[in-house]
Amino acid sequence: MSIAGILSENEEKMAKAVEVTKSDFAGVRTGRASPALVERLRVDYYGTETPLQQIANISVPENRVLLINVYDKTAVGAVERTIRESDLGLNPSVDGNVIRLSFPLLTKERRRQLVKLVKAKSEDSKIVIRNLRRAGREKLERLEKDSEISQDDLRRAEKELQSVTDKYTGAVDVLLQHKEKELIED
3-state secondary structure of 186: coil
99 phi and psi angles, rounded to 5 deg = -110, 130
* Residue 78 maps to a domain: yes
Whichever domain contains 83, its CATH number is 3.30.1360.40
What's this model's pTM, rounded to 2 decimal places? 0.70
CB 174 within 8 A of CB 126: no
Q: Same domain for 117 and 146?
A: yes
How confident is the model over 28-83, as pLDDT tens digits? Answer: 766 677 787 788 788 888 888 988 888 888 888 887 888 989 898 888 888 888 88
Close Cβ partners of 119 (under 8 Å, ≥ 6 residues apart): 176, 180
For the chain, how many structural domains are there in total? Answer: 2
What's the domain range around 118?
3-26+107-185
Q: Same domain for 114 and 175?
A: yes
* Residue 69 maps to a domain: yes
Domain end among 54, 71, 102:
102
* Residue 63 maps to a domain: yes
* Residue 84 maps to a domain: yes
How confident is the model over 132-154, as pLDDT tens digits? Answer: 999 999 999 998 888 888 889 98
